[in-house]
Amino acid sequence: MAHSPDSVNQYGSTGKDVPDSEEERTALEERLRWSHEEKQAALADPGPTWREWFLYKGAKWYIGIGLFVVDIWEVGAFLPYDSIRVLEALGLIGPTIYAEFLLYRYLWYRPSVDETTVSVHRGGFRRSWYRPVRFGRWTPETAAIRAGTYRPPTAEGPDPREFL
């Protein structure tokens, strides 16, 4: 029986390390083959870099926790509560939460395909009080725009230029 370079024969230095029966040997060969294929697939498509992962996903948690701490600090600044101090706290917390909302939209806003298609057909993107940017700064769409590879979706169907 011929074995591949990643076979059972290269593992183990004593007789007790090698499987006894042919079924065990076949099962071990299959696991090794599966592991080798999985390693090759991971090398072929490694996924996002650490920087991309952090900007697109990981930083949301760190910034969210930091903003939550700021909110708690603002609420705690008005202790002990009475009717006037509650109004002062609400007057400060309201704009802070709005600023946090805008920060999230500025960094990670990704419109749905329907919103993108409608904005393209109505003459493009328009800023508003709840949408400061077309795409968030830390999104794959913005990276595609910077690279010059972004193609807006169309309502009629797929872009024929993508297939040529």
**92-119 residue pLDDT tens:** 899 999 999 999 999 999 887 666 655 5
pLDDT, residue 1, reads 47
What does the pLDDT look like over 150-163, one tens digit per residue? Answer: 877 665 666 666 66
Query: Taking 60 as the threshold, does the pLDDT of residue 6 lie above it?
Result: no
Highest mean pLDDT among 28-42, 105-119, 120-134, 144-158: 28-42
Residue 66 banded pLDDT, cuts 50, 70, 90 = very high
Residue 79 banded pLDDT, cuts 50, 70, 90 = confident
My answer on whether omega of the bond before 132 falls inside 30° of 0, hence cis, is no
Residue 148 is encoded by which pair of tokens? 């010059």
Segment 86-92 mean pLDDT: 84
pLDDT, residue 116, reads 61
> Whose CA is closest to 108, among 132, 83, 80?
132
Segment 10-27 mean pLDDT: 67
Query: Taking 70 as the threshold, does the pLDDT of residue 127 lie above it?
Result: yes
Segment 26-44 mean pLDDT: 87
DSSP state, residue 14: S
Residue 164 is encoded by which pair of tokens? 């040529």
CA distance to 56, 73, 90, 162, per residue, from 143 (Å): 11, 35, 38, 18
Residue 164 banded pLDDT, cuts 50, 70, 90 = low
135, 142 Cβ separation under 8 angstroms? yes
Chain centroid offset of residue 87 CA: 38
